[in-house]
Structure 1
């Protein structure tokens, strides 16, 4: 009988191998030749089945010069970020109840910053050279919601009247 925890199959410990707890590849830079100039390489329960129920995951983020990891949120995890190369401008926004306060910081090699669970956050490379950071997340399956993609790339599209009113802008209707 198969047992599922957190939506993932739990392997019988008697047949688990070292491969269930291993991943190789974070030494390789991600492809940053895209419009945002960034690439997130995740290592979660999908890459390491042995992470299921352990409450942790990892990511490598590569940034082109002035590359951006755009505003996004992890609905199931707090993130701790460490810069290993370059300089980043990072920040997060608190909730509506806390007046949407913005917390930002410039980080250099070796600096660490924490993004609380569920809050919108971002990272921007502020240098003319590539940057690299590693992030630890407090979930084996943290999820990610990229704000702009969710609002402007939904299928079917969100009604223009909704977006116009929400962003208090004038947009031409495609009707």
Structure 2
């Protein structure tokens, strides 16, 4: 009823004698409520309030509030984030001996420092300049480990342009084929006997070396390389890279992370990429067990390590 009354405010036909509103139809243009004399507006408002109060409560029907659309979007967003986290966890596991930043804020400040002197002020304690390889989580010879002193693990390396890594290889253990996209790698043997392989690019020959204590080799930037302890004693090497963020790409793990239609086409034949990927060792500490022939020879000497998948 009240709506009908309000709709008549813009009508230009003459109002009937019993109308609640005054007759302003003599004007040639529609009369707006705000243009009424103040007294007449007050009378009209009072009558409208009175009329609204007289309406029974049942005439007002409240419809149930519809389910907000954004609720559905919230559910979708939560599922999307959950799947994204799972995907990230899978991809993150592919980096060879990848290191999580230990002091993110400090590293960020060191990178933003204008001068070396400013960086020195951010590292005021002697302990800031000390790194113990033997206390790191990846320090092991079973089967082995890559222990990096770099921007992620040792903030003092920020701005120095270098990473120093200790490579531990148990009997017959190996570093799987990999490459460093942002650094050249100088490797020197400290103990044991280690065989290395390096391929610089497509068409280049395979460079093979056998390193004993005091001997070294070079792996140029982005060259594919691998190494294996061919002895039955622990082998240890030192690796120097000309970047504090050299990066590492493990070939087998990354290749078999590609879509199956790609990997199956590349390997050809009746092989299944999924079956092979199931046998590719996890990255773990950066090292894995080597060939069975080597392990069998060491087993005869009582120096065989237990193989774990």
**Which one has a larger percent helix, Structure 1 or Structure 2?**
2
Of structures 1 and 2, the larger Rg is shown by 2
Match of 1:42 among 148, 171, 188: 148
How far off is 1:27 after superposition? 7.9
Counterparts of 1:47 and 1:173, CA distance in 2 = 35
* More strand, by proportion: 1
Residues 159, 41 of structure 1: alpha-carbon distance in 2 compared, 3 angstrom cutoff: same
* Structure 1 stretches lacking a partner, 5+ long: 1-6
For the residues of structure 2 that align with 1:126 and 1:43, how far apart are their CA atoms? 26
Q: Is the 8 A contact 1:65 1:128 kept in 2?
A: yes
Which residue of 2 is the match for residue 78 of structure 1? 184
Instruction: Indicate which of 231, 236, 242 corresponds to 1:127.
Output: 231
Aligned pair count reads 160
Is 1:55 the counterpart of 2:178? The answer is: no
- Alpha carbon RMSD of aligned pairs, Å? 2.4
Structure 2: stretches of 5+ with no match in the other structure: 1-106, 275-309
Q: Indicate if the aligned counterparts of 1:26 and 1:60 stay in contact, CA closer than 8 A.
A: no
Q: Residues 23-70 of structure 1: CA distance to partner in whole angstroms, max 9, x if unpaired?
A: 12348882232xxx2210111011221211211110111111110011
CA 125–15 in structure 1, closer or farther in 2 if over 3 Å, else same:
closer
Question: TM-score, normalised on structure 2?
Answer: 0.48
Report what 1:150 is aligned to: 254
Match of 2:206 among 92, 95, 102: 102
The equivalent residue for 1:22 is 130
Per the alignment, residue 245 of structure 2 pairs with 141
* CA distance, structure 2, for counterparts of residue 110 and residue 151 of structure 1: 35
